[in-house]
């Protein structure tokens, strides 16, 4: 596929833009771009009382629309509307808008300013779930301002474009997208845990997020191919590209039917090597999708949201219980709070937070947090018997022993015997942990490799650095050699080991992970069926030969070349569906 990339050209030549797949699928159509072209205009206030009435009436109309929309959603998905409804009913929100109107601002401007006050602290939070809520707030502000202006919200219909483009979406807009049969969605700033994204994913609307190089100008009417499997959107596709995607779509439709038929089968290679595929989860609302796909467990349950929303033992217990009971009897691995110290302790801003107080270092310096979380987990596990506990950011044996001691003390207080405790495991995401699995193995039941942080520390590259993104990759030879070392040491010590970082969701890396013989992969649900199908098609001996070659490689490019050649030789029918040619990504 001969794709050109140009970051500045506006002529209708083929252009590839890269993003993050949030809901898999491939569609072709024209774009409908609803991104705001400017900040809300300041409208001269005619009468503050009249402006207040316009605002309050708009709020009432939106609340009525939310009630109407709930009829189209399952009980699980109706919860997505609670956030927006809560904002609209919030007394602080309403009173702040009304005070700004009294100060001389228009209703539209007062809504925008108030929402921004609420959104900015969330956007600056460390964790993606809060950044996603900031995006939802801004989308709600847009919808509400439109309602104030016209008395009617913007209606989203695919008449001017079947693939919708926006910065953020409200839940209301996501529902309208589903009801009006849009082919797909591109969010330039979206996050994977936002309620609109989760809703669109549940309805299997192809969705690409964080396409930050997307053209700034309005793109309505632009022909495009949205490939939310490989993470690209092609603007102004050439006839050759259209033809290639026509073949890919035909092959994918056939393959999707085959993959769905495998849903309930055990995941194993052609020569019988079993690999357990689980999911990374952050919210209870994600569980229905896992069950529909046949995913048998949660390999990583992120819990930081509970800390930032000040959830006590009872609230945490309810959160864990909802997920554990829904997934039972399959395992749910709870990662203990992976926090930065400045969020807990009275410290000045750390000069380098990645090398400071993080994960277990924080928990042992704020033991009340650890004890409360362990207590909630133990109370749920007493009944469900399917929880596992995972310690984050371990660098020393002393940290593991300290957590074990607190766990056993809290268990005694809760009346639990040692036989009734959840499995205790740890993450391998620092070089210190990766070099000593044999030392830790005497004190933990399992390991899970967090490849995001491990890659960051091995390569000494901030994984969020905008300039170094092309150099940050888990297929770097140094990362692969350390993974090989860690897995071998864990197996020799008799402890099973999995991977829960982004690498587990990278289909390109999958043959190497099979060759390493990791027992468990915890991944994004969006790639689960693809991963299952690829593993079924692999033969262990062929993957081990690939691994031997890769471990002798000297550069990232050499590793990726070997992996791509493996796919084209052994799985040619799959290679075209999941691999983007190198030239497609150069400069993207």
Query: For the CA atoms of the chain, what is the radius of gyration?
Result: 25
CA 353 vs. chain centroid, Å, equals: 22
Give the residue among 209, 156, 175 at the shortest CA–CA distance from 66: 175
What whole-number distance in Å separates Cα of residue 586 and Cα of residue 588?
6
The residues with which 232 forms a beta bridge, in sequence order, are: 18, 227
The reported pLDDT for the residue numbered 502 is 83
Ordered per-residue pLDDT tens for the chain, 588 residues: 444 443 444 447 899 998 888 888 899 999 999 887 654 445 555 678 888 888 888 888 888 777 776 665 655 566 667 778 888 888 889 999 998 888 888 888 888 899 998 888 888 776 677 787 888 888 888 888 877 876 544 567 888 889 999 988 887 788 888 888 899 999 988 676 677 887 787 778 999 998 878 998 889 999 999 998 888 999 999 999 999 898 888 887 788 788 888 888 899 999 999 999 999 988 887 888 899 889 999 999 989 878 866 678 999 999 999 999 999 999 999 999 998 744 445 444 566 667 778 899 999 998 999 999 999 999 999 999 999 999 999 999 999 999 999 999 999 999 999 899 999 999 999 999 999 999 999 999 999 999 989 999 999 988 766 577 678 899 999 999 999 999 999 999 999 999 998 899 889 999 999 999 999 999 988 789 889 999 999 999 999 999 999 999 999 999 999 999 999 999 988 887 676 543 443 333
* Residues of the chain by 3-state class (helix, strand, coil), percent to 5: 55, 15, 35
Return d(Cα 229, Cα 204) in angstroms, integer.
12
Instruction: List the domains of the chain with CATH numbers.
Output: 15-36+155-254 (3.50.30.10), 262-552 (3.20.20.60)
Reduced to 3 states, what is the DSSP secondary structure of residue 235?
strand
DSSP category for residue 271: T
Three-state DSSP class for 395?
coil
Q: CB atoms < 10 A from the CB of 14, how many? A: 18
DSSP string, 80-144: HHHHHHHHHH-HHHHHHHHHHHHTT--HHHHHHHHHHHHHHHHHTSSSHHHHHHHHHHHHHHHHH
CA distance 544 to 538: 11
Greatest alpha-carbon span in the chain: 78
Report phi then psi at 477, rounded to 5.
Answer: -55, -35
User: Taking a C-beta distance cutoff of 8 angstroms, is the pair 420, 388 a contact?
Assistant: no
Instruction: Name 42's Cβ contacts closer than 8 Å, sequence gap at least 6.
Output: 105, 106, 109
Strands 163-166 and 26-33 come out as parallel
Note the residue count of the chain: 588
What dihedral angle (degrees, nearest 10) is formed by the CA atoms of 203, 451, 348, 135?
-20
Q: What is the pLDDT of residue 175?
A: 80
Residue carrying structure tokens 């300039």: 467
| pTM assigned to the model | 0.73
In the DSSP assignment, the letter for residue 274 is: B
pLDDT value at residue 150: 65
Note the pLDDT of residue 393.
Answer: 95
In the sheet that 26-33 helps form, which strands lie side by side, from edge to edge? Answer: 15-18, 232-235, 223-227, 26-33, 163-166, 184-187, 207-209, 20-23
* pLDDT computed for residue 405 by the predictor: 97
């Amino acid at each position: 596929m001969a794709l050109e990339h140009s970051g500045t050209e506006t002529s209708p030549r083929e252009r590839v833009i890269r993003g993050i797949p949030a809901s898999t699928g491939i569609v072709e159509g024209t774009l409908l771009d609803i991104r705001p072209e400017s900040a809300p205009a300041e409208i001269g206030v005619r009468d503050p009382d009249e402006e207040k009435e316009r605002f309050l009436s708009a709020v009432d109309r939106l609340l009525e629309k939310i009630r109407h929309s709930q009829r189209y959603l399952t009980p699980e998905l109706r919860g997505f509307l609670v956030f927006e409804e809560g904002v609209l009913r919030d007394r602080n929100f309403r009173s702040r808008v009304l005070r700004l109107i009294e100060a001389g601002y228009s209703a539209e401007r007062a809504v925008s300013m108030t929402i921004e006050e609420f959104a900015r602290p969330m956007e600056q939070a460390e964790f993606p779930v809060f950044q996603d809520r900031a995006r939802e707030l801004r989308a709600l502000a847009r919808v509400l301002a439109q309602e104030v202006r016209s008395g009617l919200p913007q209606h989203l219909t695919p008449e001017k474009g079947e693939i919708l483009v926006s910065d953020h979406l409200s839940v209301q807009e996501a529902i309208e997208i589903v009801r009006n049969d849009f082919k797909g969605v591109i969010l330039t700033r979206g996050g994977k845990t936002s309620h609109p994204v989760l809703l669109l994913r549940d309805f299997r609307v192809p969705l690409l997020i964080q396409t930050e190089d997307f053209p700034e100008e309005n793109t309505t009417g632009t022909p495009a191919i949205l490939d939310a499997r490989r993470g690209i959107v092609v603007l102004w596709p050439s006839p050759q590209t259209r033809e290639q995607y026509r073949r890919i779509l035909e092959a994918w439709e056939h393959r999707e039917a085959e993959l769905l038929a495998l849903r309930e089968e055990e995941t194993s290679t052609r020569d019988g090597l079993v690999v357990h595929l689980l999911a990374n989860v952050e919210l209870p609302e994600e569980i229905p999708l896992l069950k529909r796909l046949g995913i048998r467990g949660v390999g990583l349950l992120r819990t930081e949201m509970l800390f930032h929303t000040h959830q006590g033992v009872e609230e945490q217990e309810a959160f864990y219980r909802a997920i554990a009971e829904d997934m039972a009897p399959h395992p749910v691995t709870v990662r203990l709070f992976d926090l930065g110290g400045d969020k807990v302790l009275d410290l000045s801003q750390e000069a380098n937070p990645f090398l400071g107080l993080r994960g277990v270092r924080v928990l042992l310096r704020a033991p009340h947090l650890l004890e409360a979380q362990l207590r909630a987990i133990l109370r749920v596990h007493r009944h469900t018997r399917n929880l596992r506990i995972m310690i984050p950011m371990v660098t020393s044996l002393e940290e593991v022993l300290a957590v074990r001691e607190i766990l056993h003390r809290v268990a005694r207080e809760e009346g639990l015997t040692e036989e009734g405790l959840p499995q205790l495991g740890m993450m391998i995401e620092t070089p210190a942990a990766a070099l000593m699995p044999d030392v830790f193995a005497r004190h933990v039941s399992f390991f899970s490799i967090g490849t995001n942080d491990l890659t960051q520390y091995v390569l000494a590259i901030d994984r969020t650095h905008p300039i170094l993104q092309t150099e940050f990759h888990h297929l770097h030879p140094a990362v692969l050699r350390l993974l090989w070392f860690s897995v071998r040491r864990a197996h020799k010590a008799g402890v099973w080991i999995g991977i829960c970082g982004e690498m587990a969701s990278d289909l390109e890396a999958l043959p190497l992970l099979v060759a390493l013989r990791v027992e468990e992969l915890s991944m994004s649900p969006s790639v689960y069926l693809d991963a299952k199908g690829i593993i079924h098609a692999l033969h262990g001996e062929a993957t081990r030969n690939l691994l031997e070659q890769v471990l002798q490689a000297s550069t990232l490019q050499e590793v990726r070349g070997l992996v791509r050649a493996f796919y084209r030789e052994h799985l040619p029918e799959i290679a075209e569906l999941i691999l983007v040619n190198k030239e497609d990504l150069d400069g993207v």
